[in-house]
Amino acid sequence: MTDAAKVVAVTGASSGIGEATARRLATDGHRLLLGARRTARLDALTREITTAGGTAAFQRLDVTDADDVRAFVSAARERYGRVDVVVNNAGVMPLSPLEALRTDEWDRMIDVNVRGVLHGIAAALPAMRAQGGGHFVNVASVGAYEVSPTAAVYCATKFAVRAISEGLRQESTGNIRVTLVSPGVTESELADSISDPAAREAMKTYRAVALPASAVAEAIAYALSQPPQVDVNEIVVRPAASAQ
């Protein structure tokens, strides 16, 4: 463990960017609490990290449940004595045209992608204030900057994450750092949640060129590695061969 090691709570850690971030941050000596609904995957990842000499634990987490998120952050503090970083990564992306009226999927995106981030902030911000500092890393998307067909609601949720992150940054007095990480097309299970047949087929072409999740994890590690007086506010990471 280095002098710069932090206590990091990662949501959505059972796959994709969250899983890659856990692996990457463990190599820097950070102490991790990993959260997601799929505990078997979390268990396997935690074992992998600890076997390699890292420090990690896990807890089942549903980010749509504010009490669950509070318990998750409290568990990090109880285990490690503090919480320095919350990586609000959990997200879903069931794309569809608005005229398909998949209102249940709209609600799910709002609950996970927006309320999940707010729950993470609400759970950790008082503790960070009390301990004199902290860092929120909110994972958005290039969809926070542009809108495409079938992605109106998804992009709206990511625009919201961007706005929330900027608002939190402006309200902070320097001891709470805020980083928005917006990946382009990334290898993950996000597209698996698309139930609309046309949108699912279109996504195959859209995702033909994709970043490995480890590239986004590197961006997160970079933001965390900066000295306390440096706040990396926004990072956009795209595949070099893609216009998206």
Catalytic residues: 154
As a whole number of angstroms, the distance between CA 194 and CA 209 comes to 18
As a whole number of angstroms, the distance between CA 29 and CA 4 comes to 8
The first and second tokens of residue 34, run together, are: 């990993």
> Cβ distance 216 to 183 under 8 Å?
yes
Look at phi and psi of residue 226 and say left if phi exceeds 0, alpha if psi is from -120 to 50, else beta.
beta
DSSP string of 211-230? B-HHHHHHHHHHHHHS-TT-
The first and second tokens of residue 97, run together, are: 């045209």
SS3 237: strand
As a whole number of angstroms, the distance between CA 11 and CA 36 comes to 6
Q: How far is CA 222 from CA 81, 99, 153, 157, in A?
A: 24, 41, 30, 25
Closest CA to 214 of 51, 30, 22: 22
